[in-house]
C-alpha cells in the first residue's frame, strides 16, 4: 500500500473528540527540510488524543495562580519609558485582537502589533484588520511580501507538497521573531497554544515559553515549496533578497539577543469562542456574513481567500477537514456534544471551497484540470478508496 507523508498506516480516532492519529504536528510542516517524515498526534490505548488530555489538564489548573505568574512574567519585560515592550503578531483575527487588547488595556503593556499580510485579503478580513488598529487602538507594522515571488512559491508548494500555504506559514512563523530582534523587543506573545488543535506534542505544551534557540536552524539544506533554494534560484531567477523573508533564523542572528515567545493561553483559560466574543466586544471584530466552506463556523481563519483551499488540502491529505477541527475544539470546550460533532463532520467536512476557488487558481496561475490532477495524486491509499467514480474515506470516527 502506498502510504504518503509518513502517516501511520493504522488510523485511530479519539473517542472524546473527532481527531485522529493522522494529525501532523505543525513542527514538521515548517522545518525547511525536504520530505520530512511527519510525526503525528498520539492517541493512547484508551483512544484519547493529546488535545483532549490537555483539556483534562486544563480543568485542574489553578488559573488564579497562573494569572499571578502572568503579571510577574510581564513585569520582567514592561518598558519603563514610552518604548514597545512586546510584539503581538496577527492580522486582526480573534486571537491577535484579544491577545493585544488584554495585554495593553488590562495588563498595561505597550504592544507593537505586526502583520504579515494575508495572501489574498477577504473583505471581512480587511475590515477586521482595520478595526483592530482603529477601534482596538494599536500601532501596527504591516509587511507585504513581494507578490511575484510568493505567487510562484505558493504554486510550487501546491504542486510539490499539496500545501499551498507552506511559504506563507514559514513567513509568519519567523517574522515576529525577526522583527522582535530588529527592534530589540524581548517578548513575543501569542494567544492560543497550538495543542488546542493537536498540532504540538503534549509534553511541549505544558511549558509556558519557547526561547530563540527553538527557532534556530543552521542547515544548509533549505527547501521551500518542495524545492531547494538552488532550484528556486535557477528556475525563477530569484536572489537571496527575494527569498529572505521565508528563511529560518540562523544562530548568528540570535547572538546576544534575548527574545522569548510566550502563549497567553498558558496563563489564562483560553477558549476560542470566548476569544471571539472578546474581540467582538473590544475591537469590533465581525464574523463572516457567509458560513465558511467546509465547516459550520463563521469566525475562524476568515481573513485570507486561500484559507478554504488550505483546509481542503488537509482533508485530502489527512482525512481531517475544517469541520472536524472546529467541532473537536468545541467538544473539548464543552460547547457541543460528540454526537453533534459527528453530525457536523458528516454534513460539512470536505465540502469543496468553492467561494474563492477561482481566485486561488488565478493566483497560482493554474487551471482546474491541473488542480484535480494534483489533488488526486495527493490522496494516500490508506485513507481513500474510489468507488462508483467517487473518492470515499476508508475510515470515519464512530
Ligand atoms: Zn480528542
DSSP string for 352-391: ---TTHHHHHHHHT--HHHHHHHHHHT--TTTEEEETTEE
CA distance 331 to 6: 28
Quote the pLDDT of residue 36. 61
- CA 319 to each of CA 307, 368, 384: distance values in angstroms, whole numbers, following the listed order: 17, 22, 8
Determine the distance separating the centroid of ligand 1 and the alpha carbon of 273, expressed in angstroms: 18
Determine the distance separating the centroid of ligand 1 and the alpha carbon of 329, expressed in angstroms: 9
CA distance 344 to 386: 23
63-267, what's its fold?
Rossmann fold (3.40.50)
Written as nine digits, the cell of 297 is 463556523
Pairing mode, strands 86-89 and 111-116: parallel
Determine the distance separating the centroid of ligand 1 and the alpha carbon of 298, expressed in angstroms: 23
Domain boundaries, the chain: 63-267
Quote the pLDDT of residue 26. 77
Determine the distance separating the centroid of ligand 1 and the alpha carbon of 109, expressed in angstroms: 35
Give mean pLDDT in consecutive 10-residue pieces for the chain, a chain of 398 residues. Answer: 91 97 81 73 94 90 95 96 96 95 98 97 96 98 97 97 95 93 95 72 70 87 94 98 95 92 92 93 94 90 94 96 95 96 97 97 98 96 93 95
Quote the pLDDT of residue 227. 96
Amino acid at each position: 500500500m502506498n502510504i504518503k507523508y509518513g502517516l501511520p498506516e493504522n488510523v485511530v480516532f479519539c473517542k472524546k473528540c473527532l481527531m485522529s492519529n493522522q494529525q501532523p504536528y505543525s513542527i514538521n510542516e515548517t522545518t525547511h527540510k525536504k520530505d520530512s517524515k511527519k510525526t503525528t498526534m498520539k492517541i493512547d490505548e484508551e483512544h484519547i488524543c493529546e488535545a483532549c488530555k490537555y483539556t483534562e489538564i486544563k480543568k485542574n489548573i489553578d488559573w488564579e495562580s497562573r494569572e499571578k505568574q502572568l503579571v510577574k512574567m510581564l513585569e520582567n519585560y514592561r518598558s519603563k519609558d514610552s518604548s514597545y515592550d512586546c510584539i503581538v503578531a496577527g492580522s486582526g483575527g480573534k486571537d491577535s485582537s484579544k491577545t493585544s487588547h488584554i495585554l495593553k488595556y488590562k495588563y498595561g503593556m505597550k504592544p507593537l502589533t505586526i502583520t504579515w499580510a494575508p495572501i489574498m485579503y477577504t473583505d471581512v478580513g480587511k475590515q477586521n484588520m482595520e478595526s483592530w488598529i482603529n477601534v482596538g487602538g494599536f500601532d501596527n507594522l504591516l509587511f507585504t511580501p513581494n507578490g511575484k515571488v510568493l505567487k510562484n512559491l505558493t504554486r510550487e508548494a501546491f504542486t510539490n507538497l499539496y500545501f499551498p500555504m507552506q511559504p506563507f506559514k514559514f513567513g509568519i512563523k519567523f517574522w515576529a521573531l525577526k522583527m522582535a530582534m530588529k527592534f530589540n523587543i524581548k517578548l513575543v506573545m501569542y494567544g492560543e497554544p497550538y495543542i488546542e488543535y493537536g498540532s504540538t506534542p503534549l509534553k511541549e505544551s505544558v511549558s509556558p515559553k519557547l526561547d530563540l534557540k527553538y527557532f534556530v536552524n543552521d542547515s544548509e539544506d533549505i527547501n521551500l515549496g518542495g524545492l531547494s533554494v538552488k532550484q528556486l534560484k535557477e528556475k525563477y531567477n530569484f536572489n537571496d533578497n527575494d527569498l529572505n523573508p521565508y528563511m529560518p533564523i540562523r544562530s548568528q542572528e540570535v547572538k546576544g539577543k534575548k527574545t522569548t515567545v510566550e502563549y497567553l493561553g498558558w496563563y489564562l483559560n483560553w477558549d476560542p469562542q470566548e476569544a471571539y466574543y472578546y474581540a467582538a466586544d473590544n475591537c469590533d471584530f465581525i464574523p463572516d456574513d457567509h458560513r465558511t466552506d467546509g465547516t459550520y463556523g463563521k469566525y475562524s481563519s476568515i481573513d485570507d481567500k486561500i484559507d478554504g483551499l488550505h483546509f481542503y488540502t488537509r482533508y485530502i491529505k489527512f482525512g481531517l477537514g475544517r469541520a472536524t477541527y472546529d467541532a473537536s475544539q468545541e467538544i473539548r470546550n464543552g460547547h457541543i456534544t460528540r454526537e453533534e460533532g459527528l453530525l457536523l463532520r458528516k454534513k460539512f467536512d470536505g465540502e469543496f471551497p468553492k467561494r474563492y476557488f477561482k481566485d486561488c487558481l488565478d493566483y497560482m496561475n493554474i487551471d482546474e484540470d491541473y488542480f484535480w490532477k494534483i489533488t488526486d495524486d495527493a490522496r494516500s491509499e490508506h485513507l481513500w478508496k474510489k468507488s462508483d467514480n467517487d473518492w470515499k474515506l476508508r475510515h470515519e470516527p464512530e
